[in-house]
């Protein structure tokens, strides 16, 4: 029997070297496939990239990192999940700056 699940939010900055965005874009499809699987399993409850500016068609995005909400037993479980993501495996995320917090959702609305 699984333990009690809690909600967490993870703030995962990207590395800032010159190749970071290229690495992110190169493995983005694999990352999204992993996210969709975890979302279907109700492990991820929401997630996305944070940026300097909104994404505009034809303009290279200014990715800064990712923010993901999880349903998990512990912070350690969240960290273990994150380390198996293609962004972690391909040196996109800066794990020295990852922040994981318990998250008490007051309201939630689905994007239309």
Per-domain residue ranges of the chain: 6-59+71-102
* pTM given for the model: 0.88
Whether the pLDDT of residue 1 is over 60: the answer is no
Dist. CA 47–CA 68, nearest whole Å: 4
- The string of pLDDT tens digits covering residues 35-47 is 999 999 999 999 9
The string of DSSP codes covering the chain is: -----EEEEEEEEBP-STTHHHHHHHHHHHHHHHHHHHHHTTSEEEEEEEESS---TTS---EEEEEEEEEES-HHHHHHHHHTSHHHHTT-B-GGG-EEEE---S------
- Please give the CATH architecture assigned to the domain spanning 6-59+71-102: 2-Layer Sandwich (3.30)
């Amino acid at each position: 029997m699984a333990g009690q699940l809690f909600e967490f939010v993870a703030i995962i900055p990207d590395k800032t070297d010159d190749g970071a965005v290229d690495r992110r874009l190169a493995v983005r499809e694999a990352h999204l496939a992993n996210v969709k699987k975890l979302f279907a399993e109700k492990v991820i409850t929401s997630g996305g990239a944070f940026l300097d500016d909104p994404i505009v068609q034809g303009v290279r995005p200014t990715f800064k990192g990712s923010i993901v909400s999880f349903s998990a037993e512990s912070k350690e479980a969240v960290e273990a999940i994150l380390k198996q993501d293609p962004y972690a495996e391909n040196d996109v995320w800066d794990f020295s700056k990852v922040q994981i917090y318990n998250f008490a959702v007051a309201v939630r609305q689905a994007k239309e």
